[in-house]
Chains A and B, each alone.
Chain A
Amino acid sequence: METVNNALEIINLSKNYGANKAVDNISFNVKHGEIMGFLGPNGAGKSTTMNIICGCISASGGTVNVCGCDVLENPKIVKSKIGYLPENPPLYFDMKVWEYLSFVYDLKKVKNNKKEHIEKIMELVKISDMKNRMIKNLSKGYKQRVGLAQALIGDPEVLILDEPTVGLDPKQIIEIRNVIKEIGKERTIILSTHILQEVSAVCDRVTIISHGKIVAQNTLKGLEEATGGKDKYILKLKGDTQKALDILSSIDEIVNINTTFINDSEAEILLERKPESDISMQLTEAFGKNGIAITEFKSALLTLEEIFIKLTNSKIYEEEKEEQEVTENDSNI
């Protein structure tokens, strides 16, 4: 049953460029109708993975299944189910928008009402006014939209978008994101990016990749909880700080108290509560009685940026350490 639920299955995928492992044994699934964010720093292997899924390059190992079809065994069937917007939209600059989309329509061997189909897509990505303009004369934002329109031709079940908002101005970014959310209602989308707001704005789930390896795979909420600890809170207060600490240690539900800053009248404290307990009521009551003011009380969940840096850096840090050790050994010799 599970294979039916997954629009895309990637199993132990690898790609080597000589000794360099661009993609190193990664596996993930994307469910039907899901928008998955494919996140990673530049050069992490995002584009390589996407190129493999679309059949532009071949993997060194592993399998890619799109809607139950293997890319290697049935390349034509798989390719007809995928719409791909590469990092640089593959546009022929000396064609007009309409001419270009009509070529893509023929190229993909789509069989329904051509005029209606292309017009519907141009309407969706809002390029109808540009249909008789030369592509080379369009602004970057419109070029990106034509690229997106190209990917949508033939109503593919799976859309693969490689950094669709790169190089656009903030207004265009929001517009393109809205378009992606709109089309994502009926389709499966994989969207690669290194812009984190994009993930929180449009994606249901994230896969974070770094140095060709998957470092995290989760829903946004799950990712925040897993890395931040959902039972940790940051508490800032004003008043008798010593008294406040005594109160905190007297509450049973609090298992851990870490003072990050303290003087006579102000303190910042990191608390950890027992799972599923509630400490907010007890805190406000006890502090209120003793004239201690809470100036800030918030969950210590990490923001997506912090998670990203934490996950991708730890990897880099480990590798740097290894490299250092190697060079040290070399110098010993």
Chain B
Amino acid sequence: MIAIFKKEFKSYFLSPIGYIFVGVFMALASMFFASGILFSQQADISIMFSNINVIYLFLVSLLTMRLLAEERGKKTDQLLMSAPVSITEIVLGKYLAAMAVFGITILVSFIFPAIMFIYGNPALSEVISSYIGFILLWGAFISVGIFISALTESQMIAGVLTFASLLLIYFINWFQSSVQNPVAQKVIGWFALLARYGDFQNGVLNIENIIYYLSFIFVFLFLTVSVIDKRRFS
């Protein structure tokens, strides 16, 4: 697993993808920070985080689209499958590599609250819980991305489908209110990742929410492993 993690993390920066992801994130986040907080003189941490969420929404599919699709497209999956590692290790290694690159941008983004602490007085608990929520929320989105990447050989298709799915999940709350059927409402509720993020932003660390995100991630990673394993039998 460590070997796959290392290779995957490195390959983000052997190709332009890693640089584009981190670079574009920094550029956009700084721009939003300057216009939304510095210029308007508001020390409201939640404005900053919702801006960052929108940036990730557009960028995260870039991070996950190649993870498994590329291996299959270039037939390098045969190397991984014939090596003495389990599919779970392969998937986990890749997922953690994507999370690590995501983590770089999280580290970089610490600069924004730092600036706010210098010039204003935001609530520390809100900042910390927002970051925890952030990692869980996008960890869940990335698990959806890696699942979609396992479904196809084409990075392009994986990228577009992931973006569409993230967009759908992001705005799923809109549908929830207009659907009448209680069962459908409940199912939609399972995917309403963003609905639970609000608590974190308000500085509330609810164990139920944490477990929800962790199980969401678990389910999608499990599905990813199953899809790859099933393909060996078809």
Q: When each residue 69-112 of chain A gets 1 if its CB lies under 8 Å from chain B and 0 otherwise, what string results?
A: 00000011101101010101011111100000001101111000
**Interchain CB contact (< 8 A) of A58 among B3, B7, B11, B232:** B232
- With an 8 A cutoff between CB atoms, is A192 at the interface? no
B80 touches A107 (CB 8 A): yes
B160: chain A residues at CB < 8 Å are: none
Minimum C-beta distance from B25 to chain A (A):
22
A106: contacting residue among B6, B80, B82, B232, CB under 8 A: B6
Cα–Cα distance between A281 and B15 once the two chains are bound (Å): 75
**A199 on the interface (CB 8 Å rule)?**
no
Contact B84 A90 (CB under 8 A): no
Stretch of A25-33, A48-56, A269-277 at the chain-chain interface: A48-56
Shortest Cβ distance from A238 into chain B, in angstroms?
Answer: 59
How many angstroms between the C-alpha atoms of A143 and B109 in the bound complex?
A: 42
Report the contact-size class of chain A (Cβ under 8 Å from the partner). 20 to 34
A80-B84 in contact given A58-B232, A94-B14 (Cβ < 8 Å): yes
Q: Count chain B residues whose beta carbon lies closer than 8 angstroms to a beta carbon of A.
A: 24
Check if B11 sits within 8 Å of A92, measured CB to CB.
yes
Shortest distance from the beta carbon of B155 to any chain A beta carbon, whole Å: 14
Whether the Cβ atoms of B75 and A90 lie closer than 8 Å is yes
Instruction: Tell me if B183 counts as interface (CB < 8 A to partner A).
Output: no
B78 to chain A, nearest CB (A): 4
Q: Which residue of A lies closest to B2 (CB)?
A: A106
Q: Tell me the number of A-to-B contacts counted with CB atoms below 8 Å.
A: 74
Beyond the given pairs A90-B75, A107-B83, A109-B85, 13 more chain A to chain B contacts, judged by CB atoms under 8 angstroms and listed by A's residue number, are: A56-B81, A56-B232, A76-B84, A76-B86, A79-B84, A80-B84, A84-B79, A86-B78, A90-B74, A90-B77, A92-B11, A95-B11, A107-B80
**Residues of chain A with a CB closer than 8 A to B3's CB:** 103, 106-107, 109
Min Cβ gap B15→A in Å is: 6
Q: Cβ of B4: which chain A residues have Cβ within 8 Å of it?
A: 107
B174 at the interface (CB under 8 A from A): no
Inside 8 A of A76's CB, which chain B residues have their CB?
84-86
Do B15 and A94 have beta carbons less than 8 Å apart?
A: yes
- 0/1 string, B192-234, CB within 8 A of A gives 1: 0000000000000000000000000000000000000000111
